[in-house]
Amino acid sequence: MKKTHIDIIDPIHDFVRVYDSELKIIDTPIFQRLRRIRQLSSAHLIYPGAQHTRFEHSLGVMHIASMAGHALYEKGLISVDDIQNLRFAGLLHDIGHGPFSHIFEELLQKKRHSHEDIGKEIILKTKIGDLISKNGYDKRFITKMAFGDSKFQFLNEIISGALSADIMDYLLRDGHFTGAEHAKIDHNRLTFSLDVYKNKLALDKSALVNFETMMISRYQMFKAVYFHKTVRAGEVMLLESMNLAEEELELTSMNLDDYLKLSDEVILSKLLSLPEHNSKLKTAKKIATDYQNRNLFKPVFELALTGTTITKKRMRDIREELSKSSKVDINEIFVDSSNTSSIPLSPSKKESKSIILLEVDNNKTKAKEIQISNIQLVSVMSGFMKILRVYTPAKNRKKVEMAAKSILGDLK
């Protein structure tokens, strides 16, 4: 009998089963590109083990989405075809990511694009969509589900949101490869406890403690890994180098075929090979060289913000003030504002406000929607994590540090 699947060994899930229809997608050059895009951009410069990529994360999301699908199927809530749709959506949810993941996203935003926009185009207009259709599935529906646009909200929420396969896999995977001890979550208990109430994803009340643990783990991973001051130093350098070289390399104006040729190493190679026609390109090349050699910018000031919102204009103003006060060239001072919602975003890209808990009492199922911000252990994290930092090359450290303390010391 012909074998219809393979089992891929995975350090997080032990084995990830992949069926023929999925393997054909995985084996395309478009999907293989994800092997060359690190999941955590510059984190490997601080956590040497963080070499994992969008490729294995995508397999992991497909695996957990499939687990969630089977849990709902056993409760009579979805069909076998829905499980396969979830698997495709999980596999392809990151297919549009550019080099260095979310760093390249900041460049795309200048053209009002995102990796989700590119992901939709990839599924609908390339061989990947053709392979989905050839196997009898609706590539348009899968595209909507992968990026939170389907009419079935609970299916969208399995792919992205506070109870999603995405968050469960990236926390487990990032924690494993960085060595951070914060990302300890029970994804098996969470997926087996999923349910549906009025088209929304719900959770058995008994698994609330596991949800709390996941929210706390995510918060701690942002503080310890994703927003680590030296991780951000590398990302600030990459972004500055790409911004300076954007016009020369046409990074935001290329067509889909050219975009799909990009990877972390391709972009870094392009930056290191820049012609030195002008000061912008010289600086871009110098920053990229320093990045490659781990001669990173130094953080000279850091402040966790509570109520203050730092606009891009305000960041430019701060940069000018620091330059004037320290007498350091403005092009050697960098103001970085790292921020994210303490609670994961919903598929609509808004902060998840509530969670539906289900409880069986006297053979009757009772539903209760509670505000996530009211969950005792999570309430202290409610809001946005915002950190303002100032970076500069090592030679300017003392001058810029003194100016930053003087100018920014009263911010809250």
In the block, residue with structure tokens 């023929």: 20
Alpha-carbon torsion angle 382, 385, 386, 391, nearest 10: 170
At 155 the pLDDT is 97
Encode pLDDT of 332-374 as tens digits.
Answer: 999 999 888 777 877 777 777 889 999 988 788 899 999 887 8
| Sign of the torsion formed by the C-alpha atoms of 375, 376, 382 and 385 | negative
Backbone angles phi, psi at 374, to 5 degrees: -95, -5
Q: Is 370 helix (H, G, I), strand (E, B) or coil?
A: strand
At 162 the pLDDT is 92
At 130 the pLDDT is 97
At 338 the pLDDT is 87
Q: Distance (Å, rounded) from C-alpha 183 to C-alpha 173?
A: 9
At 22 the pLDDT is 98
181 CB-contact burial (10 Å; exposed 0-12 / middle 13-18 / buried 19+): exposed
At 336 the pLDDT is 94
Q: Distance (Å, rounded) from C-alpha 396 to C-alpha 327?
A: 10
Q: Distance (Å, rounded) from C-alpha 257 to C-alpha 264?
A: 16
Q: Which two three-digit tokens encode residue 317?
A: 């103003």
Mark the ranges of the chain whose per-residue pLDDT is less than 70.
Answer: 1-2, 307-308, 379-383, 410-412
Helices (H) and strands (E) in the chain, counts: 19, 9
| List of domains in the chain | 5-227+343-382 (1.10.3210.10)
In the block, residue with structure tokens 């006060």: 325
At 346 the pLDDT is 74
Residue 145: which of 159, 161, 166 has the closest Cα? 159
CA 347 from chain center: how many Å? 13
Encode pLDDT of 204-253 as tens digits.
Answer: 999 999 999 999 999 999 999 999 999 999 999 999 999 999 999 998 87
DSSP 306: S
DSSP 344: P
Query: For residue 387, what is the enclosing H or E element?
Result: strand 384-392
CA 270 from chain center: how many Å? 24
At 176 the pLDDT is 96
DSSP 222: I
| Sign of the torsion formed by the C-alpha atoms of 403, 407, 409 and 411 | negative
pTM reported for the whole predicted model = 0.95
DSSP 351: B
At 412 the pLDDT is 58
| Contact indicator for 350, 372 with CB cutoff of 8 Å | no
